[in-house]
Amino acid sequence: MAAIWRHFVIVSSVPYWFSLPSLDTNCSSEEVKDTLQKALNPSNVKVGIKNVRKLAKNGVAVECNSRKDLEALIKGVNTDAGLSSTLEAKIPAKKFPRVIIYNVDDSISQETLGTNLASQNEQLKREDFKVLFNLKSKNQGKSHWVIEVRPKAFRPLLRKKKIYHEWQRLSIREFLRPTRCYKCNHFGHISSNCSANENCPNCGQEGHKMADCSQAPRCINCDDANKKFKLGYEIDHAASDANCSSLQHQIQLLINRTDYGR
């Protein structure tokens, strides 16, 4: 018999949010969202919902207006006989800070990198960090590695701006990269979990790639945020722009969900 897992609903409102998982591993985030919205009426629970978005691994995040609304909605989900058998609402634990190490030789394995960092950097004990994953570098033969660091070691490490590895001092910085879909260009999920149509990151329209775009830049995320939340974000930029207000908002959400030990 196949294993059965519950889908999470994460409810949130910076920092008021929670997640929802489901008993059927084949159930999509869209189906979880649909199940929740059909079974639970916010007006009956007397809560204000700011946003609902899909997450990776068949989850859904729900953002509330206040801590009081958050707690009421979590109780509403977890005490509902129909929902509680398939969904579980919970506030996710904060994650440790992440640091990106630039331009590590491709020949270095994940295990070797962890061993070397611990032996060559006095302030970084092996039990204080975990090597997570690597990313492609523009430099041939190099990769960027992301590590997760306990709060007590994070600040001293970041202040040095460099880390010793073999015969090099490599540049480091805090890794704050929100989950983004490069198919629809929205945040909170990746393309493999996206059921939306593909759109251009430059103009937000469907039917062409960014390289073929002749339209003026129009950020789909800032445009949507303005319409949904009546904000005043500038929209005359691509969704991939580093100064995008929606991106900066997502980065702030990441910071809010990070345990810095303060």
List, as one string, the DSSP characters of 101-168: EEEEETT--HHHHHHHHHHH-TT--GGGEEEEEEEE-SSTTEEEEEEEE-HHHHHHHHHH-EEEETTE
Return the CATH number of the domain spanning residue range 17-85.
3.30.70
| 87 against 183, higher pLDDT | 183
Average pLDDT, rounded, for the chain? 88
Please report how many Cα atoms fall inside a 13 Å half-sphere around the Cα of residue 245, on the Cβ side. Answer: 16
Please report which confidence band the pLDDT of residue 4 belongs to, taking 50, 70 and 90 as the band edges. Answer: very low
Q: Strands 7-12 and 87-89, how do they pair? A: parallel
Domain ranges of the chain: 17-85, 98-174, 191-257
pLDDT by residue (tens digit) across 150-179? 999 999 999 999 999 999 999 999 999 999
CA distance 102 to 94: 25
Query: Under a CB-based contact definition with an 8 Å cutoff, are residues 62 and 49 in contact?
Result: yes
How high is the pLDDT of residue 3? Answer: 32
Domains 17-85 and 98-174 share a fold: yes
* Residue length of the chain: 262
Question: In DSSP terms, which residues pair with 25 in a beta bridge?
Answer: none
AA identity, residue 141: G
- C-alpha distances in Å from residue 128, one per residue of 49, 134, 154, 262: 38, 19, 9, 17
pLDDT by residue (tens digit) across 115-125? 999 999 998 99
The arrangement of secondary structure in 98-174, i.e. its CATH architecture, is 2-Layer Sandwich (3.30)
